[in-house]
A and B are shown apart, each in its own frame.
Chain A
Amino acid sequence: MKKLLSIVLAVLVTASLFAGCGQQQQQQSQQQQQQQEQPKKIETSVKIGLATDEGGKGDKSFNDAAIAGLDKIASEYTVEPVILESKQNDQYEPNLKNLASANDLVFAVGFKMQDALTKVAKAYPDKKFAIIDSVVELPNVESICFKEEEGSFLMGVIAAKTSQTGKIGFVGGSDMPLIQKFEAGFIAGVKSVNPEAAKDLENRKNVKYANSFSDINKGYELAKSLYNSGCDVIYHAAGGVGLGVFNAAKEMKKWAIGVDSDQALTVPDAKDVILCSMLKRVDVGTYSASKDTIENKFQGGKTLILGLKEDGVGVSPTVNPAVQQSTLDLANKYKEAIVNGTIVVPSTLDDVKKFQPVEIK
């Protein structure tokens, strides 16, 4: 028994060591690169830390975008951001505490960290915190939210214009208000261009949820099922599950729309089937909150809501040639209408049912 314990412990310790040095190596190499590229930086004593959710670094999406914002800060100021990955939700609190004890500003990336951040922010009232995708009403926390529905609306316009079968699908990670914002905005966009195609989205016949953000094979099966029922464009808001959607699209020669980052670049072998992606500029959020803190303009207790107007969401730079220029022009017109308030994009499924589409030619 003793022998076993020692071996099991040895295995665990070695494993955790491995995970540890991986991060350090990368951080070091990143820092080295940045130092080589940007010799002159503005001096600051502010220290910044960031805790990812389970997606972790390298999700090529949400968390990576958050880190990209800090990389940009690190290229302009003498800041060396510390990044901790949370593999499970019971690591949120210890990670945030660790970061808070050594840094001035701590980012919690993801709505799942709301409870953990609330506790830690109360425990460290003299430190500054920022949370992405959720609202924590404390004087030392800045909340950064996005109008995903506005970006998704444009995806809906593009999907409806590009679809030839007039059937459009949606794959979500888990069925909850945040993902429903994507769904609602997308449906509203489709409805504005092709009300007929929106019907099966509204009654959820062409909407499927994976109940996971990492099960690729589930995403593949969900997408196959949708494509089989005649859909030729699928928009996913499902993290890693979306990779399976791309695989199904490749196999069946259909279209998919990416989310959060420019997925035609981040998942290059699927670029032929990705029409475009809904960019969520988490980097804009982490960058501006970091800059505010460094310049002593931190907006504690406030909620920053980044929409199309603030460039917090938008259409990815990479757009598949299959999307016609007229479609993009139309999407731009809708964008203007949203920015100047002519169209108010619904953010809940109830509001979609009440949404009166405005047709723009």
Chain B
Amino acid sequence: MNNTGLPIIVALLASTLRLATPLIFAALGGLFSEKSGVVNIGLEGMLTIGAFFAVYGSFKTNNPWIGIIFAVISGAAIAAVHAFLSIHLKADQTISGVAINIFAAAITSYLLMVLFNRQGQTDGVTPLYYPKEAMQSIPVIGKFLGELNWYVFIAIALVIVTNYIFYKTPLGLRIRAVGEHPKAADTLGIGVYGIRYLCVILSGALAGLGGASLSLSNTNLFREGMVSGKGFIAIAAMIFGNYKPFGALWACLIFALADAFQIVAQGLGWPFPTEFYSAIPFIITMIVLSGFVGKTVPPAADGIPYEKGEK
């Protein structure tokens, strides 16, 4: 039992990145959907589904990478339902999202019974291996890298990729056009429905990956309720970051930093009640929201179903 005490600042930063990772995935997912003009408040449910199927995939095959693929596919599948409801049937996207959140909680609870023959939580499965020792042997930043997991790197890479897609590729231009002014895009020959389907399904895939980062990283099991509102925080982060990938990244990091800070702060022995520490993330959020973020501008056609040929 050797003591692996880390400098407090390193522990704090690593904890921030770990806590931010699922938020980043979900926020990026939300971005894709909203940029194309479909509101997605079903992220919480998609995280839940992803978290469950990640564990199931790893449980079945003993290979966590397969688990991640399961998570991505299941997230995409549930998002396809949302896409069908909100694009084809022109349903109220908020209601559809809420339904997905409720449905996800119920179906995972049911599948837990059917697939694991268990209730409440799964058994531990093979988690994603992270070469902690090898990372720690890297000079200077090794100790810090050793505290992370693969998802942290994937999440940050995806922020860069998403930013590139949105602002540097024709596809990104189309997505934004569909989200801002679908009629104009349609008249120019862009398939509004196709783009929206693609984006909503991608959004579910990313949220599914986020779910995997919750259940199959430093933890190795699924438990009902383990997502505990992270999908909603991701939505807040996305809006907070003004519907931009890097904005969302910073917002997620601020939320996570506040959370990581309150964990460390509990150990400082200040004479505050623990409720105060639990409130720290929200207090910081309010301060940042009131002072540092200007007006956020959602895509103009966000949440409005597109009707072909409507005047």
A and B associate in one complex: yes
Interface residues of A (CB under 8 A from B): 1, 3-4, 7-8, 11-12, 15-16, 18-19, 22, 25-26, 54-60, 87, 164-165, 174-175, 203-209, 211-212, 214-218, 220-222, 224-230, 232, 240, 243-244, 247-248, 251-255, 267-270
- Contact between B218 and A251 (Cβ–Cβ < 8 Å)? yes
Q: Knowing A26-B113, A212-B228 are in contact, say whether A226-B267 is a contact too (CB < 8 A).
A: yes
Residues of chain A contacted by B102 (CB below 8 angstroms): 12, 15
- In whole Å, how far is B210's beta carbon from the nearest beta carbon of chain A? 12
| Residue of A25, A26, A243 with highest tally of chain B CB at under 10 A | A243
B287 to chain A, nearest CB (A): 20
Within residues 95 to 131 of chain B, which ones have a CB less than 8 A from any CB in chain A? 95-96, 99, 102-103, 105-107, 109-110, 112-114, 118-121, 123-124
Tell me whether A22 and B110 are in contact (CB under 8 A). yes
B274 contacts A240, C-beta separation under 8 Å: no
Q: Given known contacts A7-B91, A59-B120, is B274 in contact with A228 (CB within 8 Å)? A: no
Least Cβ–Cβ distance between A181 and chain B, in angstroms: 16
Complex alpha-carbon distance, A98 and B74, angstroms: 36
Residues of chain A contacted by B106 (CB below 8 angstroms): 15-16, 18-19
CB distance from A116 to the nearest CB of B (A): 20
Name the CB-closest residue of B to A21.
Answer: B110
Most buried by B among A211, A230, A248: A211
For A217, the chain B residues whose CB sits under 8 A away are 18-19, 22, 214, 218-219, 226
B219 near A229: Cβ-Cβ < 8 Å: no
Query: Is there contact, CB below 8 Å, between B220 and A269?
Result: yes
Of B99, B120, B132, which contacts A12 at CB under 8 A?
Answer: B99
Q: Is the CB of B110 within 8 A of A19?
A: yes
B17: shortest Cβ distance to chain A, in Å?
11
Residues of the B chain whose Cβ atoms lie less than 8 Å from the Cβ of A56:
119-120, 224
Residues of B within 8 A of A255 (CB): 1
Across the interface, do A205 and B268 meet the contact criterion of CB distance under 8 Å?
yes
Q: What is the minimal beta-carbon distance from A96 to any residue of chain B, in angstroms?
A: 20
Question: Are A15 and B107 within 8 A (Cβ)?
Answer: yes
Contact in complex: A214, B218 (CB < 8 Å): no
Question: Can you spell out 27 A-B residue pairs with CB atoms less than 8 angstroms apart?
Answer: A4-B85, A7-B85, A12-B102, A22-B114, A26-B119, A58-B121, A59-B121, A60-B121, A175-B275, A214-B225, A216-B214, A217-B218, A218-B228, A221-B18, A221-B259, A228-B5, A228-B6, A228-B8, A229-B5, A232-B3, A243-B221, A244-B219, A247-B218, A251-B132, A253-B2, A267-B124, A270-B124
